[in-house]
């Protein structure tokens, strides 16, 4: 059963941009979406209809597991990012991945662009349930990967208490490193 518990499905936050709007990276050095993370995945997300966010991820030679094929763990990372972006942008509250499960249905060759459609499935207290499908090269392409995740809502303190001090200082000095943030920061 998914979600595994009774949930509420909140409206998307009133500050969520209109459908079709491209979303900036949420952190410039994020491995999933950061534009200053040379070796990262460079996912690009945009707002979908209702409780949906669409992300795109192009598999490069740096992402191989077997010759010419994407590494499964790396695809899981892409889905972590796509699902987390969905939680962050639709609820606009900080959250972290508690559990992530993936089904790999087809191999994903280098050069493929995965079109990842993620949706918010519901909220139960601090638990947020999200799921996604990744299709090969087009929004109606064959499904290659499915994922479901539980995110847990946290306070900003989670990041301040656990993050490395020099990285927190860098963000405090240049808040533009946080391009899309679920709450306003006052460092
Ligand atoms: C715009 C922004 C875009 C952002 C995109 C980001 C994408 C990337 C996201 C990530 O990769 S985040 C990094 C990876 N995740 C972590 O580092 C989280 C590490 N884990 C923790 O810090 C804590 O375990 C956690 C905050 C998740 C939970 O600890 P807490 O002490 O705050 O809460 P608690 O353990 O009481 O759990 C809260 C609820 O969640 C449930 N829960 C937590 N982990 C679970 C789990 N693994 N499976 C099932 N349920 C789980 C737990 O049972 C409980 O349910 P109930 O409310 O019903 O009691």
Contact 17, 23 (CB under 8 A): yes
Burial category of 159 from C-beta neighbours within 10 Å (exposed 0-12, middle 13-18, buried 19 and up): middle
Pairing of strands 95-104, 22-23: unpaired
**97 CB less than 6 Å from ligand 1?**
yes
What is the token pair recorded at 163? 């993050």
Residue-level pLDDT at 54: 98
Atom of ligand 1 nearest to the CA of 125: 57
- Distance, in Å, from the CA atom of 155 to the CA atom of 143, rounded to the nearest integer, reads 35
pLDDT of residue 148: 98
Listed by start position, the domains of the chain span 22-177
Residue with tokens 């899309």: 180
**Mutational test site, ligand 1, from 96, 99, 147, 162, max ligand atoms within 8 Å of CB:** 96
Give distance in angstroms: CA of 124 to centre of ligand 1.
13
Q: Write down the pLDDT at residue 181.
A: 57
Contacts by 164-172 with C-beta closer than 8 Å and gap 24+?
167/29, 171/27
Whether ligand 1 lies within 6 angstroms of the CB of 47 is answered as no
**Cβ of 94 below 6 Å from ligand 1:** no
User: Can you give the pLDDT at residue 139?
Assistant: 97
Tell me the three state secondary structure of residue 134.
Answer: strand
What is this model's ipTM? 0.98
Per-residue pLDDT of the chain (187 residues; tens, 9 = 90+): 999 999 999 999 999 999 999 999 999 999 999 999 998 999 999 999 999 999 999 999 999 999 999 999 999 999 999 999 999 999 999 999 999 999 999 999 999 999 999 999 999 999 999 999 999 999 999 999 999 999 999 999 999 999 999 999 999 999 999 986 555 554 4
Residue 184 CA to residue 172 CA, distance in Å, equals 12
Closest CA to 29 of 182, 184, 138, 168: 168
Instruction: Find out whether the beta carbon of 3 lies less than 6 Å from any atom of ligand 1.
Output: no
Determine whether the shortest distance from the Cβ of 34 to ligand 1 is under 6 A. Answer: no
Ligand 1 geometric centre to CA of 111 (Å): 33
Q: Are 17 and 43 contacting, i.e. CB atoms less than 8 angstroms apart?
A: no
- Tally of CA atoms within 13 A in the half-sphere of 18 that contains its CB: 0
Q: At the fourth CATH level, which superfamily is domain 22-177?
A: Hotdog Thioesterase (3.10.129.10)
For the entire predicted model, the pTM comes to: 0.96
């Amino acid at each position: 059963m998914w979600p595994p518990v009774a949930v509420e499905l909140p409206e998307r936050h009133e500050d969520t941009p209109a459908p079709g709007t491209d979303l900036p990276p949420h952190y410039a050095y994020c491995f999933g979406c950061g534009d200053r993370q040379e070796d990262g995945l460079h996912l690009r997300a945009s707002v979908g209809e209702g409780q949906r966010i669409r992300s795109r991820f192009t598999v490069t030679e740096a992402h191989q597991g077997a010759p010419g094929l994407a590494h499964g763990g790396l695809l899981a990372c892409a889905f972590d990012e796509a699902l987390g972006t969905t939680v962050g942008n639709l609820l606009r509250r900080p959250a972290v991945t508690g559990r992530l499960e993936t089904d790999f249905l087809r191999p994903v060759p280098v050069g493929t662009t995965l079109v990842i459609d993620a949706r918010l499935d519901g909220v139960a207290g601090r638990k947020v349930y999200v799921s996604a499908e990744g299709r090969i090269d087009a929004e109606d392409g064959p499904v290659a990967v499915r994922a479901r995740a539980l995110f847990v809502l946290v306070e900003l303190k989670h990041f301040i208490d656990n993050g490395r001090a020099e990285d927190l200082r860098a963000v405090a000095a240049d808040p533009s490193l946080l391009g899309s943030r679920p709450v306003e920061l006052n460092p």
